């Protein structure tokens, strides 16, 4: 079997998603693959930004726009390097998680997508679908669903 060349993993900053990052980092460390860590986010509205600036002043950047996603990505990158990954990129993408993952998989010609299993065993996940199950159905590449819960 050929080793993976580019591995994409999604994170939302949760402990569960960080465990998926750890597993993806281990896979890339073993194969010498590039690791691309993705965090999807929704931009804040102008009203939300102004309200945050009124309350938080100069610290508003920490809770609006892409700053929380960038912080999540930096934490995930640090974990990945600690787990042995050597070639790590991070990408913040505006939009919903599955479409963000699909976009990054395509743009980076990834051959493996790693996601945590969070949501697979919930009632809402079974009725509405979950990020892991939807990503597995729509990604077009191998998907590793990591048992994180």
What is the three-class DSSP state of 125? Answer: helix
* Pairwise CA distance, residues 5 & 111, whole Å: 7
Collapsing DSSP to helix, strand or coil, 90 comes out as: strand
Q: Model confidence over 47-67: pLDDT tens digits?
A: 654 554 454 444 434 444 566
Tokens of 4: 């993976």
141 backbone dihedrals φ, ψ, rounded to 5° = -130, 175
- Cα dihedral 54, 59, 61, 62 sign: negative
pLDDT in tens, 65-118: 566 888 899 999 999 999 999 999 999 998 888 888 999 999 999 999 998 876
Beta strands in the chain (DSSP E): 6-10, 34-41, 88-94, 112-116, 142-146
Torsion, Cα 46 50 52 54, to 10 degrees, reads 180
Please indicate, yes or no, whether the overall pTM of this predicted structure exceeds 0.75.
yes
* Residue 44 confidence (pLDDT): 63
């Amino acid at each position: 079997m050929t080793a993976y060349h580019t591995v994409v993993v999604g994170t939302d900053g949760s402990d569960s998603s960080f465990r998926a990052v750890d597993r993806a980092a281990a896979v890339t460390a073993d194969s010498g693959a590039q690791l691309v860590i993705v965090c999807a986010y929704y931009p804040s509205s102008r009203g939300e930004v102004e309200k945050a600036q009124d309350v938080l002043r100069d610290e508003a950047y920490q809770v609006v726009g892409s700053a929380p996603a960038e912080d999540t990505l930096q934490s995930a990158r640090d974990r990945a390097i600690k787990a042995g990954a050597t070639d790590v990129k991070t990408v913040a993408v505006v939009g919903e998680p599955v479409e963000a993952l699909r976009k990054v998989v395509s743009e980076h010609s990834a051959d493996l997508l790693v996601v945590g299993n969070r949501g697979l065993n919930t009632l809402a996940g079974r009725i509405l679908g979950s990020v892991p199950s939807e990503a597995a159905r729509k990604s077009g590449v191998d998907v590793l669903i990591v048992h994180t819960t």
